[in-house]
Structure 1
Amino acid sequence: MTPLFGVATDGGLDAFAGLNNAVPVAPFSLNFGSRTYRMDEITREELYRELQTHPVHPTSSQPTPQDWAEAERRASGGLLPVLALTISGGLSGSINAAEQARAVVPELPVTVVDTRTLSAAQAFQVHAAATAAQRGETLETALDWVRRTAGETELYFTIETLEYLRRGGRIGRVQATLGGLLNLKPVITVDRATGAYTNVGRARSYKGGIEAVAAQVTSRYGEGTPLRVGLLYGSVREDADALLAAIQARHPIVWAGAAGVNPVLNVHTGPRAVGVAAAPGNWVWER
């Protein structure tokens, strides 16, 4: 089918090989003191080395309007309208840059959507949009699929230490709900109202945190509900396997994929992290 629109997203995406996630990306950047890397210029392994050895904690920078304009041009192919899906506006100003990019590419009709999430949950929404495009569906159909996918998908993750969220200034409500007890392992999600991180559970160990993430999934969807799961891992791939096993003990798995957390997001979680985007049953267009 001939696509009627193109799809672009930003560096909040953790892409999955088994999903339609191969869309143009407006990249974030990482800044180590005076040295700046675009997110596709540093590997996860290089990031972990820098985190261990660099005296300055890195900061991240959102895409520029020019970065967004370039991604939109590639998505459009010069002809098509573009659906631009951004990381949550409660976590980044990327959506503002996407809006400002309209002035850079005034010839392109661009629809900007705040996914109100990130990472694997953003990947699910990108998959919905890109699938609609591949099937020759209208932009209106794609927006409906994205909206419905967003409504049924949850993202939960845990981290070994809160230190990196603290350094990056993103600890906010997570720290408040933990009472500042930094030795506890939080279960974090993105609040649908604010688009920012919030804590929904806790554990006394990292292994317990993995179990707590699985328990949160079951609490949300009900034991025995078939699920699609996009698993995420930081420096230890086996963490994703452990989380999948914990979820499989309670749910049939319709689809599962795993992806490493990208370097820009990993700066805020720290190297050791594990998470999941979960949604019930088949994709909305398969029902």
Structure 2
Amino acid sequence: MRIGLVTDSTAQLRAEEVARLEETAGGLFRVVPLTVLIAGESFTDGDLDVDELCRAMDEGAEVSTSMATPGQFAAAYADLIDHGAEAIIVVTMSGELSGTRDSAVSAAADRPVLIDVVDSRTTSAGLAGAVDVAAAGIAQGEDAASIAGTVADWCAAETMTVFAPHNLEHLRRGGRIGAASSLLGRALQIVPVLGLTGGVVTPIARVRTRAKALERMSLIAAEAAADLSADDRSLEVEIQQADGRPDDADVLTLQEKLNERGLSPSFRTLSPIITAHVGPGTLGITVQTTP
């Protein structure tokens, strides 16, 4: 059975990752983009330069995002079916953070092939990892239902993200703050360390300085890596930054701290969609198993 694979642009896939996924899926891989709005002007996620976005946010421009629409997903499904897909796996960013998952489900109704939509309960590197798990299932010849189940299980147990925005203001404005709203009254006195639990932003720690936040994040990542590698599973550790600067001082400091704990992280720029909600300067770590 030929199985198509779809995700959304918040995975921020690199060009080489897209090429590999295209090859694994036999050409049946598509990315559906979300939209960033800066002062009312629309930009497709993937086309917007992250420097331009961060500069606009620093200057106080009104920034918002728009979910991928049912029409966009319907077009992707139709294209895959036209190219021979007999079933389609869709892996989206957390449904708690965006209506994108609902759009994917809505567009799947009354299609001539099985379309299984998986809410990854994460985004960025976590979403990219979930797509890799789906692609591995396709490569191994598994059926669509089995692949979807494996991806959902992996998302629930084998990926962890921790991040530290410079402040909570952008999350508050966007309404994506979830349980971390309890920190708002102390936002001027603390540096928040946050995570994603069940797809929702949750507070993990409150520290006084950025340096302490980086130290706490590296410790949390090391603990997660120890748990996830207990069965000798291979791991991926990835630093993510809103500004897309791997040579930034905070990124280099975090990389050094992770190296000291025996971890060798790679780097991924956050999707502009995520940056629009967490703000410039946000730094995160994702630890997850690899298929």
Which range, TM-score by smaller chain?
Answer: 0.7 to 0.9
Q: Note the 1:196-211 alignment, pairs <5 A.
A: 196-211=200-215
Change (3 A) 1:262 1:252: closer
Q: Is the 8 A contact 1:29 1:39 kept in 2?
A: yes
Tell me what 2:239 maps to. 231
Change (3 A) 1:34 1:122: same
CA separation in 1, counterparts of 2:39 and 2:287?
A: 37
User: Which residue number corresponds to residue 216 of structure 1?
Assistant: 220
Aligned to 2:187: 181
Q: CA deviation at 1:113?
A: 0.7
The AA in structure 1 aligned to 2:168 is L
Matched, 1:72 2:77: yes
Measure, in 2, the Cα distance between the counterparts of 1:215 and 1:178.
Answer: 24
1:269 aligns to 2:278 (yes or no): yes
Aligned to 1:120: 125
Q: When the two structures are aligned, how many residues end up with a matched partner?
A: 274
Partner of 2:88: 82
Mapped to 2, the partners of 1:170 and 1:64 lie a distance apart of 19
Q: Normalization by structure 2: what TM-score?
A: 0.83
Give the conservation status (yes or no) of the 8 Å contact 2:58–2:280.
no
1-side partners of 2:12 and 2:219: how far apart? Answer: 23
Change (3 A) 1:96 1:32: same
Q: TM-score, normalised by structure 1?
A: 0.85
User: Aligned-pair distance for 1:249?
Assistant: 1.6
Q: Which residue of structure 2 lines up, in the alignment, with residue 162 of structure 1?
A: 168
SS at match of 1:101: helix
| Aligned AA (2:118) | V
One-letter amino acid of the counterpart of residue 277, structure 1: T
> How far apart in 1 are the matches of 2:228 and 2:116?
37
Structure 2 residues not aligned, in runs of 5+: 23-28
Q: What's the secondary structure of 2:122's corresponding residue? A: coil
Structure 2 partner of 1:259 = 268
* Alpha-carbon RMSD: 2.5
Deviations 1:50-71 (A, max 9, x none): 2234x54211110110111223
SS in 1 for 2:204: strand
Determine which of 251, 254, 258 is the counterpart of 1:240.
251
- Which consecutive unaligned segments of at least 5 residues does structure 1 have? none
Contact between 1:4 and 1:136, CA under 8 Å: does it hold in 2?
no
Structure 2 residue aligned with 1:110: 115
Distance 2:70 2:171 in 1: 26
Change (3 A) 1:75 1:248: farther
What is the SS of the residue equivalent to 1:42? coil
User: What is the identity, as a one-letter code, of the residue corresponding to 1:100?
Assistant: S
Q: Distance in 2 between matches of 1:120 and 1:184?
A: 26
Instruction: Check the 8 A contact 1:202/1:212 in 2, yes or no.
Output: no
Report how far residue 75 of structure 1 moved: 4.3
* Equivalent pair of 1:224/1:252 in contact (CA under 8 Å): no
Distance 1:181 1:114 in 2: 30
Cα distance between partner residues in 1 of 2:79 and 2:238? 26
Most deviating of 22-31 and 155-164: 22-31
Alpha carbons 1:161, 1:183 under 8 Å: kept:
no
